[in-house]
Structures are given as C-alpha cells and as structure tokens.
Chains A and B, each alone.
Chain A
C-alpha cells in the first residue's frame, strides 16, 4: 500500500515549457486535490476533483489545468511555465469531504 505517490520528485523547466505532474493513489479515494506551497504562505489549493471525470477550480487555478480520467490518478498540467510557478506541489486524496486528507511527498518545481 503506497498511499499517495507523485512523479517526478524534482523538475527544472525553462519559461514557456510545459509539463505534467502525476499523482496516483491506491486507497480508492473519491476526492483528490492539488496544492502548491510557497515560503510563508502555507498550502494553497489549485484544483480539486470529487470523482472520476470531474474537476473544479481552487484558490489559485490560473496557469494550470487538471484531468481525472481514472479514479486513482490526478494530473496537473502547466502549459506554459512561468517563474511565478516555482513552488513545491502537493497532491492529496480523501474518501470524503470531512475525512482526513493524505498527502504525497511533493514535487519541487523550479522555473527559470
């Protein structure tokens, strides 16, 4: 039981490049979330999904897109990376809206 896994762990992009971050969970959770963490600002919600095939915007969705084609996977895409997207990205999943969220180990992204 791996819980929540994220790939890659580290990535450096140049401005304008694109990439996809993959989140996978093996707990059969319905809900999945993408957050970013910046120094002094805690974690902020980017997008979330309450079930396979559904996605919704969070607090800071601009510049990101997501897809939930399979229940166990939640993908975060950056179409044209900007230095402001340099951050640590965390994925989380839960079985319900009042339940504990389980976080992955994070992806450290640097955009130069």
Chain B
C-alpha cells in the first residue's frame, strides 16, 4: 500500500514570507495532484504534475516534481492571507481514484 507523507503538518507565517510544503511517497506516483481546501469547503485542484523533474508555476505558487517521481514540493512566494488553507497532495490511481496525504495546514497572518 502506498504511503503519502506531507510535511510539515502545520505552518504559520506572516504575510509576505515564503513557505514550502512537501509531499513524499513510498512508491512512484502515477501522477500527482495538489489541492487546496478552505474551511467548510471541498478541495479545489491547483495543479497536476506527471513528468519527473517537471516544474509548474501558478502565479505565486511553484510546484516541483522530483526526478524519480516519488516526491513533490509546493513553494509559495510572498504569502498572502488568501493562501490560508489545507494543502493536500494526492496520487491518481486507475479509474481516477485519488489517494490523499494528510495535508499541511497553512495559516498566513496579516
């Protein structure tokens, strides 16, 4: 059974600071998705990465996929309070089934 580990579990920073969260797998990812979940809502997809070494940017968010496709990171530059949320990584399986990590709770204070 694949294990997804996310670190840190919790991160609290001030507005304007940078942060990085990590997702590591015990086995190779099929494809990796990053989601953000705000309180009282369902997760929303941020990005999908498929190719080892891939880097994707979404405004102030930078996603990296490890060369061996067993790890990924999400870096946020100049964090804003709107970035507050639970960041989840997930591996896709057959039939689109998702296996999620436990998530990193990010709090950005003004």
Contacts from A to B (Cβ < 8 Å): 4, 31, 33, 35, 40-45, 48, 50, 56, 58-59, 90, 92, 94, 96-101, 103-106
Knowing A42-B88, A43-B100, say if A97 contacts B95 (CB, 8 Å).
Answer: yes
Contacts of B73-99 to chain A: CB distance below 8 A:
88, 90, 92, 94-99
- A45 contact from B31, B41, B97, Cβ within 8 A: B97
Task: Give bound CA distance, A48 to B48, whole Å.
Answer: 21
Task: Give bound CA distance, A98 to B91, whole Å.
Answer: 11
Knowing A103-B43, A103-B44, A106-B41, say if A42 contacts B100 (CB, 8 Å).
Answer: yes
- A42 contact from B40, B42, B101, Cβ within 8 A: B101
Knowing A56-B95, A97-B95, say if A43 contacts B40 (CB, 8 Å).
Answer: no
B108 proximity list for chain A (CB < 8 A) = none
- Nearest-CB residue, chain B, relative to A96: B96
For B41, B95, B100, the residue with the greatest tally of chain A CB atoms inside 10 Å of its CB is B95
Contact yes or no, B95 A48, CB < 8 A: yes
We find that the number of chain B residues with CB closer than 8 angstroms to chain A is 23
Task: Give bound CA distance, A46 to B89, whole Å.
Answer: 18
A103 proximity list for chain B (CB < 8 A) = 41-44
Contacts from B to A (Cβ < 8 Å): 4, 9, 31, 40-45, 48, 88, 90, 92, 94-103
Contact yes or no, B102 A105, CB < 8 A: no
B97 proximity list for chain A (CB < 8 A) = 33, 45, 48, 58
Task: Give bound CA distance, A8 to B43, whole Å.
Answer: 18
Contact yes or no, A98 B42, CB < 8 A: no
State how many angstroms separate the Cβ of B93 from the closest Cβ of chain A. 9
- Nearest-CB residue, chain B, relative to A92: B42
Task: Give bound CA distance, A104 to B40, whole Å.
Answer: 10
A59 proximity list for chain B (CB < 8 A) = 99
State how many angstroms separate the Cβ of A58 from the closest Cβ of chain B. 7
- Nearest-CB residue, chain A, relative to B45: A100
Task: Give bound CA distance, A56 to B97, whole Å.
Answer: 11
